[in-house]
C-alpha cells in the first residue's frame, strides 16, 4: 500500500521562522532515502543542508530558488510504502471546521534538467559544498554545464564533468586575432546571501547618518615586530598578519570610547554597550561577503587571535561557518589592503555603530625628528561611525588611540 508523506520545512535554528530556498538536489520522480541531502536553504547568512525524513519517491516539490518559505510549510510530497504515521499523514478537513487552505498549485514548477549555456565571464551558480569540491579538484566552475534551476551546478553535474575528463582549459595567448564586440547580456535574480547583503546595505545606507574619519598610520616598527615574531613562531602557531595587531589595539582603545563598541536600535532609541569586544572580520567568499566573529578578543593573545582569524576565515570561505560564528559582532574590521586603495568608506554593519577599514601599506618618504627624509611604511585606516551615537570628537579620540598603539607596538603587550 502506498501512502503520501508531506515533508514540512523543518526548524533550522532557534528563533528562525522562515528560510530562503537556495537549491533543490532532487526532482519529481527521484527516489529518495532517509537522511539524504535534498535541499539547501539560507537563513541569517548561513547555508543549511536539509535531509530527507523517509524513503520513497518524490511526487511534488513546492518552492523554487529565491522563494521564502515559513517553517512548517509543506515543501515536498513523497510516495512511501506502507502507512504514514498519524501525525505525518495529510490532514483531513472536518466539515464542522473551516477548511485548511490547499497547497498552492501555482508554485514555480521544478524545471526539467537541461544543460544551461553560460556566457564567458558570467559567474557560475553553485552551493558552497559544490564550490569546495571544485576547488579541491582544481576545476573551474565556469566550464561546468549546470542542469539545476537557472543553470545552477549540482553535485551530479560536477561528477559528470570529472568523469568526462574535464579540467581547466588553458587560454592561448599572443596572435593578432580580430576582436569581436561583446554583445552578451545576462539577468540574474538575487537570492540567498547576495540578497541578504543587498537588503542590509540598503537599510544601513538609508537609515544611518554616518561620519568618516581617515588617519595615516606609521607601521614601520609594527612591521619589524611582526616579521621578528613570525621568524620565531612555533610550528603550531599561525603566521601573523596586520589584522591581529589591529584587533588587539581595538581591545585596548575601546574602553576609552565605549559607545563605539555597541549596538543601536534606532526605533526603540536603545543603545547597548558591550564590555567584551566581539570583533567581526569581513571576509570575501565565493558566495559573497560574510562577517565571521572573533568572540571576546580582549581575552586572547596575539597568537590566539591569529589562529581564530584563520579558522573562521577558512570556515566562511568553505561555507562551513556556524550561525553563531557569523553573528554577535560589536565592531567590524574590513580590509582591502591586499588589493590596494588609499581610502575607503565602509558601510556600517548595523546594528553596530563603528567599522574600521584597512587600506594598502606603502613605503613613502617622511621627515624624521632631525629633519632628514627617511623611508617609512605607512597605511591609512578608514573608519566610519554612526553619527547619532559617536560624535566626530569621540571618533577621532578612538582612532588616535589606535594609531598610538600601532605606532608603538610594544604598548600592545603592556
Please report which confidence band the pLDDT of residue 362 belongs to, taking 50, 70 and 90 as the band edges.
very high
Q: What is the pLDDT of residue 244?
A: 97
* Element (DSSP H or E) covering residue 235: none
Decide if pLDDT at 386 tops 90: yes
391 is catalytic: yes
Task: Name the residue with higher pLDDT: 85 or 88.
Answer: 85
Place of cell 549540482: 154
Q: What is the reported pLDDT for 110? A: 43
Residue 100 has pLDDT above 50, yes or no: no
Residue 112: its pLDDT value, please?
41
What's the pLDDT score for residue 114?
47
Query: CA torsion 286→68→65→32, rounded to 10°?
Result: 110
Choice among 30, 160, 218, 391 that is catalytic: 391
Confidence label for 226 from pLDDT (cuts 50, 70 and 90): very high
Higher model confidence: residue 387 or residue 206? Answer: 387
Is a pLDDT exceeding 50 seen at residue 271? yes
Contact 362, 378 (CB under 8 A): yes
Averaged pLDDT score across all residues of the chain: 84
| Dihedral of the alpha carbons of 123, 127, 131, 137, in degrees to the nearest 10 | -120
Please determine, for residue 39, whether its predicted confidence score (pLDDT) is greater than 70: yes
387 is annotated as an active-site residue? yes
Residue-level pLDDT at 180: 63
Name the least confident of 36-50, 93-107, 227-241, 321-335: 93-107
Q: How confident is the model at residue 122 (pLDDT cuts 50, 70, 90)?
A: low
Catalytic-role residue among 37, 67, 387, 394: 387
The neighbouring-strand residues paired with 283 are: 290
Percent of the chain with pLDDT over 90: 51
Q: Record the pTM.
A: 0.63
Residue 123 C-alpha cell reads as 559567474
Amino acid at each position: 500500500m502506498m501512502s503520501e508523506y508531506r515533508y514540512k520545512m523543518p526548524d533550522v535554528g532557534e528563533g528562525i521562522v522562515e528560510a530562503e530556498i537556495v537549491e533543490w538536489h532532487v526532482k519529481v520522480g527521484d527516489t529518495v532515502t532517509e537522511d539524504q541531502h535534498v535541499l539547501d536553504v539560507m537563513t541569517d547568512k548561513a547555508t543549511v543542508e536539509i535531509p530527507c525524513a523517509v524513503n520513497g519517491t518524490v511526487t511534488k516539490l513546492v518552492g523554487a530558488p529565491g522563494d521564502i518559505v515559513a517553517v512548517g510549510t509543506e515543501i515536498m510530497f513523497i510516495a512511501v510504502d506502507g502507512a504514514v504515521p498519524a501525525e505525518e499523514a495529510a490532514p483531513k478537513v472536518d466539515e464542522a471546521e473551516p477548511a485548511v487552505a490547499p497547497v498552492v498549485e501555482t508554485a514555480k514548477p521544478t524545471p526539467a534538467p537541461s544543460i544551461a549555456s553560460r556566457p564567458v565571464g558570467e559567474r557560475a551558480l553553485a552551493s558552497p559544498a559544490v564550490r569546495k569540491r571544485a576547488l579541491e579538484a582544481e576545476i573551474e566552475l565556469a566550464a561546468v554545464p549546470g542542469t539545476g534551476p537557472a543553470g545552477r551546478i549540482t553535485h551530479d553535474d560536477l561528477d559528470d564533468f570529472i568523469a568526462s575528463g574535464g579540467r581547466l582549459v588553458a587560454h592561448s595567448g599572443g596572435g593578432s586575432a580580430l576582436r569581436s564586440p561583446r554583445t552578451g547580456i545576462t539577468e540574474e535574480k538575487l537570492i540567498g546571501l547576495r540578497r541578504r547583503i543587498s537588503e542590509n546595505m540598503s537599510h544601513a545606507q538609508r537609515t544611518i547618518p554616518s561620519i568618516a574619519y581617515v588617519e595615516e598610520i606609521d607601521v614601520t616598527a609594527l612591521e619589524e615586530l611582526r616579521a621578528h615574531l613570525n621568524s620565531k613562531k612555533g610550528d603550531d602557531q599561525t603566521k601573523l598578519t596586520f589584522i591581529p595587531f589591529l584587533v588587539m589595539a581595538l581591545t585596548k582603545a575601546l574602553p576609552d570610547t565605549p559607545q563605539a563598541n555597541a549596538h543601536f536600535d534606532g526605533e526603540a532609541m536603545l543603545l547597548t554597550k558591550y564590555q567584551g569586544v566581539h570583533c567581526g572580520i569581513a571576509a570575501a567568499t565565493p558566495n559573497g561577503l560574510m562577517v565571521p566573529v572573533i568572540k571576546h578578543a580582549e581575552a586572547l593573545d596575539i597568537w590566539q587571535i591569529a589562529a581564530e582569524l584563520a579558522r573562521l576565515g577558512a570556515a566562511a570561505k568553505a561555507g562551513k561557518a556556524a550561525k553563531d560564528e557569523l553573528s554577535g559582532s560589536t565592531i567590524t574590521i574590513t580590509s582591502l589592503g591586499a588589493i590596494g586603495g588609499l581610502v575607503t568608506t565602509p558601510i556600517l554593519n548595523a546594528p553596530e555603530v563603528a567599522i574600521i577599514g584597512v587600506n594598502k601599506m606603502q613605503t613613502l618618504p617622511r621627515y624624521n625628528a632631525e629633519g632628514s627624509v627617511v623611508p617609512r611604511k605607512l597605511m591609512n585606516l578608514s573608519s566610519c561611525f554612526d553619527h547619532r551615537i559617536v560624535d566626530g570628537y569621540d571618533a577621532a579620540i578612538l582612532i588616535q588611540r589606535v594609531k598610538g598603539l600601532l605606532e608603538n607596538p610594544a604598548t600592545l603587550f603592556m
